[in-house]
Each structure stands twice: as C-alpha cells, then as structure tokens.
C-alpha cells in the first residue's frame, strides 16, 4: 500500500512537471497549512474564548453527534468526550477527553484540525477556543467564565496529566514537546 502510494506520488509529480500543472510547496505554503500545536501550546493562534461563549457554538456544531453533555452516541460511533473523570483505574473505565487526555492544547489542536467531523477546519480560532473551553467545562476542568487563549490554555491541568507512565523502551530520553 505504502509502496503504491509512493509510486503514485512520484508519477503525479512527474506528470505535474511534464504538463506544467502544480508547483512545489514553498515554506509559506506549508506554514499556512501547518495546524500543529504542541502539548505545551507552541503554535496556538491569537484569539480566545470561554465555555460560556462556546455553549451555543457547541450545540450548533457538535451536539448532534456528541450529545448535549458530551455523552456521545456509541451506536453511531460518536465517542463520549466528557465525564468519566477518575474512572480509568476502576473496573469500568470511561475514556473521554476529560478523563484521559493529558494536555489541553492537544484537545484544541484535535478539535481545530478534525472537527466538526462533517465540516472540519471551518470555524474561527476564537470559536475553536470557546468550543474547547466548553468541552473542558463539561468535565469540570474549566469554569464557565474562564477565558482560554494561547497563554491560559497550556496552564490548564488536565485530570489525567499524571496518569501516563514512561515507556520503559525510551526511559531516560527526554520527551519532545
């Protein structure tokens, strides 16, 4: 599969050159498409928003799939994104954004990159901040009025931040954030 893709990639590049279509991506092209935000929040955009502001946006863009309280819809394959905090080590672990995800900037990054599932990357940075705040508030991680932005989001301590153990195969190596 990978080989087929590589061959296809080379062929299409050759075609592009032969027929004069397309152009090599410049550093600016790549920067414009680079959505990456690190666990510590490097790469977060300007703007911000609170859970209070995010509630209406969440209802409009997210609740049909994830439910009004982030409970999800297992039958439809839409994961729960709130609740379950403190259940991971129990007999009935409930894995959600609130109970599992270690870093808040990662939550923002994922939502901005991939959601709404049927219409990804269509909202503004302020809206993604507000929706992220709302999702986190559903698990009691942030308060309704708390404004999340490039400075405050990395300071949010996710409940399961310390629930991960180092992989013994890379023990001693510094993690890259």
Given the rule CB under 6 A, which residues bind ligand HEC? 61-62, 64-66, 77-79, 81, 97, 110-111, 115-118, 131, 135
In the complex with ligand HEC, which residue's Cβ is closer, 35 or 117? 117
Query: What is the phi/psi pair of residue 77, to 5°?
Result: 80, 20
In the complex with ligand HEC, which residue's Cβ is closer, 54 or 154? 54
In the complex with ligand HEC, which residue's Cβ is closer, 29 or 73? 73
Q: Least distance from C-beta 66 to ligand HEC, angstroms? A: 5
- In our burial notation (b when 16+ CB lie closer than 10 A, e otherwise), range 43-57 reads ebbeebbbbbbbbeb
Q: Least distance from C-beta 158 to ligand HEC, angstroms? A: 12
Query: What is the phi/psi pair of residue 140, to 5°?
Result: 75, 20
State the Cα–Cα distance between residues 131 and 138, nearest whole angstrom.
Answer: 11
State the Cα–Cα distance between residues 112 and 13, nearest whole angstrom.
Answer: 30
Q: Least distance from C-beta 72 to ligand HEC, angstroms? A: 8
């Amino acid at each position: 599969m990978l080989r087929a893709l590589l061959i296809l990639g080379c062929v299409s590049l050759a075609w592009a050159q032969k027929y004069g279509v397309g152009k090599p991506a410049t550093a600016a092209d790549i920067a414009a498409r680079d959505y990456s935000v690190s666990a510590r929040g490097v790469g977060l955009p300007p703007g911000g928003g609170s859970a209070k502001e995010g509630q209406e946006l969440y209802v409009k863009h997210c609740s049909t799939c994830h439910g009004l309280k982030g409970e999800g819809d297992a039958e439809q394959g839409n994961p729960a994104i709130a609740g379950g905090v403190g259940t991971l080590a129990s007999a009935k672990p409930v894995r959600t954004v609130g109970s599992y995800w270690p870093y808040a900037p990662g939550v923002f990054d994922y939502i901005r990159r991939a959601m709404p599932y049927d219409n990804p990357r269509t909202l503004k940075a302020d809206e993604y901040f507000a929706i992220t705040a709302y999702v986190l508030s559903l698990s009691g991680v942030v308060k309704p009025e708390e404004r999340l932005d490039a400075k405050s989001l990395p300071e949010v301590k996710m409940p399961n931040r310390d629930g991960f153990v180092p992989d013994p195969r890379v023990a001693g190596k510094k993690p890259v954030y």
